[in-house]
A and B are shown apart, each in its own frame.
Chain A
Amino acid sequence: MKKTGRFLLLGVLLVSLSVVLFGCGTKDSGSSTDVGEGENEGVRKLIVGTDATYAPMESMDEKGNIVGIDIDIVNAIAEAAGFEIEFKNIGWEPLFPAVDNSEVHFAVSSITITEERQKSYDFTDPYFSANQLILVPEDSSVESFAELKDKRVAVQINTTGHIVTKGLLGDTSSKIVAAETMPLAISEMINGNADAAVGDNAVIIDYKANNPKVQVKTIEDASFEKEYYGLMVKKGNTEVLELLNKGIQIIKDNGKLKEITGFDLE
Chain B
Amino acid sequence: MDFLDIRWDMWGVIWNYRELFIRGIGITVSLTLISYVLGLVLGLFVGMGKLSKKKWLYYPSKYYVDFFRGTPLLVQILLIHTAVIPGIFGQSLGYFTSGVIALSLNSAAYNAEIIRAGIQSIEKGQMEAARSLGMTTVIAMKNIILPQAFRRMVPPLGNELIALLKDSSLLMVIAANDILFAGKVVAGATLRFWEPYIMVAILYLCLTFVLGKLISYVEKRFSNSYIPMQRRNVFSLRRS
Contacts and interface: CB of A to CB of B under 8 A. Distances in A.
Contact of B175 (A116, A171, A180): A180
A192 B92 contact: yes
Contacts of A172: 17, 19-20, 23
B175 A179 contact: yes
A169 to B, nearest CB: 13
B191 A116 contact: yes
B184 A157 contact: yes
Interface string A163-185: 00000000110100111100011
A263 B40 CA distance: 59
Contacts, number: 68
A202 to B, nearest CB: 20
B94 interface: yes
A101 to B, nearest CB: 9
B181 A192 contact: no
B195 to A, nearest CB: 13
B19 A97 contact: no
A162 interface: yes
A97 B193 contact: yes
B91 A193 contact: yes
Contact of A180 (B91, B94, B172, B189): B172
B91 A178 contact: no
Given A96-B191, A177-B175, A188-B92, A158 B185 contact: yes
Contact of A93 (B23, B91, B187): B187
Interface in A65-120: 93, 96-97, 116-117, 120
B106 interface: no
A187 interface: yes
B26 to A, nearest CB: 11
A185 B191 CA distance: 22
A96 B17 CA distance: 22
Most buried by A among B23, B91, B92: B92
Interface of B: 17, 19-20, 23, 82, 85-86, 90-95, 172-175, 177, 181, 184-185, 187-191, 193
The 4 nearest A-B residue pairs measured at CB: A158-B188, A192-B91, A191-B92, A193-B92
21 contacts: A93-B184, A96-B191, A121-B191, A157-B175, A157-B188, A158-B187, A171-B17, A172-B19, A172-B20, A177-B95, A177-B175, A179-B173, A179-B174, A180-B173, A184-B82, A184-B175, A188-B174, A188-B175, A192-B90, A193-B93, A193-B94
Interface of A: 93, 96-97, 116-117, 120-121, 154, 157-158, 162, 171-172, 174, 177-180, 184-185, 187-188, 191-193
